[in-house]
A and B are shown apart, each in its own frame.
Chain A
Amino acid sequence: MKTLVAFIDRLIPSDELGPGAVASGAQIYIDRALAGPNASEKDTFVQGLESVDAYAQRVHGAALAELSAEKRDEVLNEMIESPFFNRARILTLEGMFSDPYYGGNKNFAGWDLIRYPGPRPAVAAGDQALNADVKPYRMSAYGIKYGH
């Protein structure tokens, strides 16, 4: 989990545009996915994390979580063509931009980032106008207990 957090924290960092993947709980989404619906890829994914740490150790002298943000960015860049990077990125996007019901996208930080106004019960024609400034509808499809 430490390595995963150190990794996705650089994929989508917290900055002046708002919370990043970790602050939004993407790691919770990934953890739950690998424990359940994505269990078949869990071993491969964990091995991928281990090899990231082994690489960081060998090339940069410490496990990923022990490296500075700049060094971690270097590691990510160096492995950007690898299947693990691609898969970790996809799972992080799923966590960050899915319904908060799944554990990520806390306070709708992911949807705010890309300016997605959220599922709503009915969409008026004006909500589909070009350049419309649609007021975000902050509601999980599974009800207010998952965030509103």
Chain B
Amino acid sequence: MAISLKPADVVVIGLGAAGGVAVLPLARAGLKVAGIEAGTWMDPHLDFHADEVYNNVRRLVTSSSKAQRECPTVRATTSQQARSAGVHPMMNAIGGTSIHYWAQSWRLKPWDFRTRSESTRRYGPNSIPAGSTLEDWPLTYDELEPYYDIIEQEVGVSGKAGNIQGRIDPAGNVFEGPRQREYPMPPLRGAGFTDHMMDAARELGWKPFRPPAAINSQPYRGRNPCVFHGYCSAGGCHVGAKNSTAITTIPEAVRTKHLTIFDKAQVTRIITDSNGRVTGVNYIRDRKEYFQPAKIVLLAGYTYENSRLLLLSKSKAYPGGLSNNHGQVGRHYFGHWVSNVSALFPYDINVWYGLPAQGVTVDEWADDSFDHAGLGFIGGASLHVYTERHPIDAAAMNTYGRAPLFGSAWKKFVHENAGRVASTYLQTNTFPYETTFLDLDSEVRDPLGDPVCRITFGGVRENEQRALQHAQNKMEQWFRAAGAIEVTKPPANGPRISTHAYGGTRMGDNPETNVVDRWGFSHEAPNLGILGASVMGSSGARNPTLTLQALAWRTADHLVKNWKSLAG
């Protein structure tokens, strides 16, 4: 029998990128918030190292053992047996994945919120990819703009505005939607190579810019600026320059004394009453089971875990899983199509140091920045060239048929060329499809005996494939213009499991096709809110974190403003 605890106003399940920001407006409003997190505080001195083996080979920051034992299984189609995806950097820790992410902090484009209607208007109804369940978002960019602004200020984002209230500045991203004001910090400095790539893009007539990042480019609210030491990817920041929620909004919420953190506590079920309202959550800590009652439950796990916990939380009111009476939990899931086009230069480009967020981005070939007439796809991809290269990875470089894989000739090759390879990150506008979804695995279970999440990634996606190939060709053009002597384009494929995982609890006005309403609250269980990229119905051509944080703050803000009606 679960031990019943003192009721809270709000339970937040998961103190990561999403839950970690939502607690702040709730705590500031004086609500009693219980933050339940499966992991605990990480220690910058013990856990964060300038060490490729630690961070990238053994993945000791990103792969806490509990999360790995809950790693989803994957299969191509429903007729196949799903197999474990192996490892995934979903995280058990206060701060969650925002501890080790690249911290690229993008706003989506106004077009991303209205892709279906805009594409239909400009290119006709047949431009919508066949089999896609894409809908317009239930809110516009303009409605989310104030919340983007709040996150940029509260978390701390560096960058250069390209559009302040309609005034275009070519030093920033001229394709972005209008912003109310400049970023709170200037962009991270460029490196010699990224400046060189910026010049090459300008010569092509493109409009490159330094992208936004939740990394301090100067001291910010008492925290240090970035030292560019080259171990940001899959690692935590030892100087506190990467603005994870563990060092920004969560400590700020703790200071209000209205947030109580229950760490190392794994939520096993969300509990409902016979009227279909949620009453609290069960969690396990030190092998004891507790019941934390609350007036409101905000579910803020990783995308895979959000759908899984809902599907596991069956009750009389929700026999197929919580908030799943319309069969929409797990639907409209998709992983972000991304790609690395790499290149070899005939001189030392010196990108050892820096960080993936230090770079140069081109947005010409993303979203609807260009005319798609006759191209056979909608969307595209952003092109991002960045710094940070680790020695093992560098030594394992492609030899491009110019040298053998071992021996003295190989040594001579890597001696000359290991410091001459550039990497990129291309992110494709990715859409949901009828045959891509999440459910519970029929065989694989976690250590508590509950089924893990199962990903069915469905068939060929010609739209995303063409969009990504188009962008890869543009990336090659850019590299060649900058003097590359070799360019490698990997096959344009979708992910099996993704660090940018979307959907499963999509946001939309229609309860027949969406799990949460425009405010992030369940269409079925009125006092259940859901936070994270699991509510997003399309990806945009950029990283999800800033958008899911803006949405999370907005849901929390809506809750504060409508406390009486929502809390009942």
Contact = CB atoms under 8 A, between A and B. Distances in A.
B407 A13 contact: yes
Given A113-B414, A119-B229, A128 B392 contact: no
B418 A114 contact: yes
B352 A93 contact: no
B391 interface: yes
Given A17-B412, A121-B227, A128-B228, A76 B391 contact: no
B407 A119 contact: no
Interface string A88-132: 011001101111011000000011011111011111010111111
Interface residues of A, number: 43
Contact of B53 (A11, A94, A128, A129): A94
A128 B419 CA distance: 12
B50 A94 contact: no
Given A113-B414, A130-B192, A73 B227 contact: no
B350 A128 contact: yes
A117 B191 CA distance: 16
Contacts of A20: 411
A41 to B, nearest CB: 13
A125 B189 contact: yes
Nearest to B193: A130
A141 interface: yes
Contacts of B415: 17, 113-115
A95 to B, nearest CB: 9
B42 interface: no
Contacts of A39: none
Contacts of B171: none
A114 B414 contact: yes
Contacts of B228: 122-123, 128
B405 A117 contact: no
B75 interface: no
A60 interface: no
A90 B228 CA distance: 27
B53 A80 contact: no
Interface of B: 49-53, 57-58, 189, 191-193, 196, 227-231, 347-354, 387, 391-392, 394-396, 405-408, 410-412, 414-415, 418-419
13 contacts: A12-B406, A37-B58, A97-B392, A102-B53, A110-B395, A122-B227, A127-B353, A128-B192, A129-B191, A129-B192, A130-B196, A134-B350, A134-B352
- Considering the complex of A and B, which 4 residue pairs feature the smallest CB-CB distances, nearest first? A130-B192, A119-B50, A114-B418, A128-B191
